[in-house]
Amino acid sequence: MKPRTILLAGAAALTAASMALAMTREGRADDAGTVTPDGSVRRLTEAQYRRVVADVFGQDIRVVGRFEPDKRVDGLVAVGSSMVSVTASGFDQYEGIARGIAEQVVDKDHRATLVGCEPAAGDTEGQACVSRFFAKVGPRLYRRAMAPAEIARFTAATLEAGRTLGDFHAGLATGLTAMLSSPEFLFRFERPAANGKLGGYARASRISFLLWNAPPDATLMEAAAAGTLDTPQGLATQVDRLMASPRFEDGMRAFFNDFLLLDDLDTLAKDSVLFPQFNANVAGLLKEQTLRTVVDLLVTNKGDYRDLFTTRRIAMHRALGPIYTVPVAGRDWTMHEFPEGDPRTGLLTHAGMLALHSHPGRTSPTLRGKAIQEALLCRKIPAPPANVSFAVVQDVNNPTLKTTRARLKAHLDDEECATCHRVTDPIGLALEQFDGVGQHRVTERGEPIDASGEFGGAAFTDAVALGKLFHDNADVSSCVVRTAWRYATGREPRAGDEPPIARLQAAFPKVGYRMTDLMRAIALSITLDPVPRAPASRQQVAIRTGVPPS
């Protein structure tokens, strides 16, 4: 043990030295940081990357290229973002995307507005111009203040590139490419202050990425620099400002997109012969429909999260008319209200949700039930046992077992299967009156479809009744709190995180389950509550010390 301790102590000493260095360099103590808990380095998602570029350089700069795929961990890409790095081929792609952006920034159409200066008489190489450019865009790309020495390094490298290329603007593009390929641009570093709480710029990024899915704006950066975010009052002022902005919708859309796995609709394919109504365009509109419905209820109308499961109000688009068999006038999105007694009520009956958790050629009560249990109820459904035959169950030509329900019921005769299927299937069977792309139906091969079942100890007759049970189920509302917290922090809760999560869950009913109040409370909690340390695993110690685990 002894050598290991010495090594760790050595690392700590090194850290203290670099901390002091960082403090002087950055001028602010709070962002300097000791060794941060794991999960404090999060890779920007593709959407966040695009947002930063658009905020700093404008909407007309095209971001072209293939990003490293995101990784979904326990239902959330946000959690996966603190576990992924950049592979060699991924870095190749990032550098290529960065070059594409940088070349546009310095091209003839943009340089006047985005660069705004050129080499001049007393500054033939353009040093002052380059330095000014990086001092302007650098802190916005890095989402923190930059020390003069950092600007100077990029400036020197850029001027050298300009000399090599014999072209000032080509050199500038090359230097900007390096900045856009830098770890501090591609990753979010959450540095705690010495008191264990998050530093100012880390707070600014946390609340802006949570509430806007975007980098901090100038006002927020100024607040971070001034230390305003270190006080609960100053932080609350900024949180309220961000939530009052139209951009709060973007933040909520990003959360629900991750929470409900809606990005999977982008690549969802259905059999074109069996479901000619479905295509890539429809899939994209189904995703948009759910997001617009969520925003209308929870942001625009500051609604109750539970009403998402019972509302008959839904965003509607003309191209979705055939799926929902409703006439839609006009070419724009409108809010549509299904009549009382209509089988469509609430999120569970959105065609996008129903299509997403079906097979390409037919429904799957098990896939639907599993997805709903995991995402909306925060329950983990184990993988099926490897050695199991589904043949009897899924024989669609079985003369006696005509409906999916009848076939699945036969499956329950096997006790090993039954333990999980009793959890997943009742919810899925309640949605059987909607086919593989979410179209309403009342029969399957001539037999009427029975959508009744039991959830949380209460019997229901169909999807509408199930939606009401979801509305009143405490697990449904506490699950969204936990998921939003994990989304906001980008990691799984540790022991010390449970009390704040429990407080958030207890407070949710008191604010009428209003999603806006929840997001506000989370924004404050994740910036003000101390960051608990994760105990280092044996393997992590091994990496740090170079001593392999035995």
**Which residue from 149, 202, 150 is spatially nearest to 178, judged by alpha carbons?**
150
**Nearest-approach distance from CB 254 to another protein, in angstroms:** 21
For the bound state, the minimum distance from the C-beta of residue 33 to another protein, rounded and expressed in Å, comes to 5
Least Å distance, CB 119 to another protein, is 17
Distances (CA, A) of 23 to 143, 175, 187: 17, 26, 21
> Least distance from C-beta 285 to another protein, angstroms?
14
Closer residue to another protein (CB): 119 or 234:
119
Nearer residue to another protein within complex by CB, 174 or 439? 174
For another protein, the binding residues in 526-545 under the rule CB under 8 A are 534, 536-537, 539-544
Nearer to another protein, 265 or 481 (CB): 265
Considering the rule CB under 8 A, would residue 265 count as an interface residue with another protein? no
Report, in Å, the least distance between residue 147 CB and another protein: 11
What residues from 418 to 447 belong to the interface with another protein (CB under 8 A)?
Answer: none
**End-to-end Cα separation, the chain, in angstroms:** 13
Q: What's the CA gap between 427 and 381, in Å, rounded?
A: 13
Q: Which is nearer to another protein, 302 or 538 (CB)?
A: 538
Binding segment for another protein among 45-53, 264-272, 294-302, 409-417 (CB under 8 A)? 264-272
The three-class DSSP label of residue 455 is: strand
Q: Is 161 in the site for another protein (CB under 8 A)?
A: yes
Q: How far is the CB of 158 from another protein (least distance, A)?
A: 7
C-beta of 271: minimal distance to another protein in Å? Answer: 6
Cα–Cα distance, 71 to 49 (Å, whole number): 16
At 464 the three-state DSSP class reads: helix
Q: Which of 132, 362, 402, 409 binds another protein (CB under 8 A)?
A: 362
DSSP conformational letter for 150: H
Residue ranges in 281-340 that form contacts with another protein under rule CB under 8 A:
none
For residue 239, give the H/E element and its range. Answer: helix 232-244
**Planar angle of CA 423, 424, 429, nearest 5 degrees:** 120
From candidates 4, 7, 19, 250, binder to another protein by CB under 8 A? 19
Site for another protein in 382-401 (CB under 8 A): 383-391, 393-396
Instruction: Give the length of the chain.
Output: 550
Determine the interface stretch with another protein among 124-132, 253-261, 313-321, 381-389 (rule: CB under 8 A): 381-389
For the chain, helix (H) and strand (E) counts, in that order, are 25, 8
Place of tokens 């270190």: 230
For residues 394 and 417, the answer to whether their CB atoms sit within 8 Å is no
In the list 20, 218, 280, 442, the residue contacting another protein (rule: CB under 8 A) is: 280
Give the residue with the Cβ less far from another protein, 266 or 337: 266
Smallest distance from another protein to CB 151, Å: 11
Closer CB to another protein, residue 339 or residue 548? 548
Q: Which residue has the tokens 């009390």?
A: 499
480 contacts: CB under 8 Å, gap ≥ 6: 259, 305, 376, 515, 518
Comparing CB distances to another protein, the nearer of 319 and 524 is: 319
Smallest distance from another protein to CB 473, Å: 29
Tell me if 7 contacts another protein by CB under 8 A: no
From residue 122, alpha-carbon distances to 76, 133, 421 in Å are 54, 17, 77
Residue closer to another protein (CB basis): 189 or 201: 189
Q: Based on the shown chain and the rule CB under 8 A, indicate whether residue 8 belongs to the binding site for another protein.
A: no
Site string for another protein, 26-45 (x = CB under 8 A): -------xxxxxxxxx----
For the bound state, the minimum distance from the C-beta of residue 92 to another protein, rounded and expressed in Å, comes to 6
H helices present in 444-545, as ranges:
463-471, 474-489, 498-510, 515-528, 538-545
At its nearest, how many Å lie between another protein and the CB of residue 154? 6
Q: By three-state DSSP, how is residue 514 classified?
A: strand
- Please report the beta strands in 238-362, taking only residues with DSSP state E, as ranges in sequence order: 313-316, 334-337
Query: Which residue type, as a one-letter code, is found at position 241?
Result: R
Q: Which of 5, 164, 219, 461 binds another protein (CB under 8 A)?
A: 164
Beta bridge pairs of residue 120: 123
- Cβ neighbours, 10 Å, residue 283: 22
| Burial class, 362, CB count within 10 angstroms (exposed 0-12 / middle 13-18 / buried 19+) | middle
Which helix (H) or strand (E) segment holds residue 459: the answer is: strand 458-460
Q: Is 85 in the site for another protein (CB under 8 A)?
A: yes
- How many Å is the Cα radius of gyration of the chain? 27
For position 113 contacting another protein by CB under 8 A, the verdict is no
138 contributes a contact to another protein by CB under 8 A: no
Of 174 and 311, nearer to another protein (C-beta) is: 174
Q: Is 177 in the site for another protein (CB under 8 A)?
A: yes
Instruction: Give min distance, CB of 248 to another protein, in A.
Output: 30
